[in-house]
Amino acid sequence: MSEYKNRFDRAYQDTVGYFTETKFLKTNSIELAKFLNDNKVLSDGMNIFEIGSAGCRNLKFIHDLNSSVNLFANDLYEDASRKNMHESVKEKVNFIEMDTLSMFEKDKNLILGDNKIDLLLSSDHLMHIDKKSVISILEHICTKWKPTYIALRELVSKSGEEINRQYPRLHHDYEKGLSNHYDLISERECSNRPDWYKLSLYKVKS
């Protein structure tokens, strides 16, 4: 279990799900979906897994661009997450109720079985997890799940790190954690705090 897990209760999902009143969060999701579409990642029948998805706000906007994708997600509380999902994806998301580190420590793909993960997505999620746990999560992603693509919208500047807030915000070295197995193929600035956040797309090495 990651160090800060108990700081996130069910009520947190109300603040970050699809129905959030924080407008820039929806802007973040729209930018992420467009980034994936512009890089021609989205295709019919692909399997997309979002870790720490909350109310699957990101998956909703991806689904708006291609409704033929298969959606998978995890987070701490399925009931709170589904409560905050848009109707268009609520019945389409295959959901596992488990924190991300514990899910990977099970050392198996709990939902997809032998099916391939085409895209693994993390948006404002890994930044809430302690550094030791993220090192372990990235290792599991690279060596066990091996998705074709990894898309990140995460904190990339140490200046934005703040560990002692209720919902901690941590900077991680994603390039170090992924570069042995993945190539960085595209990056884009985020409109919200571009000094802190960036969109990054990785593809598994051939």
Q: What is the pLDDT of residue 114?
A: 72
Paired sense of beta strands 47-50 and 149-155, if any: unpaired
What would the pLDDT profile of 31-88 be if each residue is shown by its tens digit? 999 999 999 999 999 999 999 999 999 999 999 999 999 999 999 999 999 999 999 9
E strand or H helix at 133: helix 131-140
**pLDDT value of residue 18:** 80
Contact at 8 Å (CB) between 57 and 29? yes
| Cβ-contact 122, 104 below 8 angstroms | no
The pLDDT of residue 57 is: 96
Give the model's pLDDT for residue 109. Answer: 66
C-alpha torsion angle, residues 201, 155, 50, 60 (rounded to 10): -90
Residues in the chain predicted with pLDDT less than 50, given as ranges, are none
**Residue 108, pLDDT score:** 64
pTM: predicted TM-score of the whole model, two decimal places: 0.93
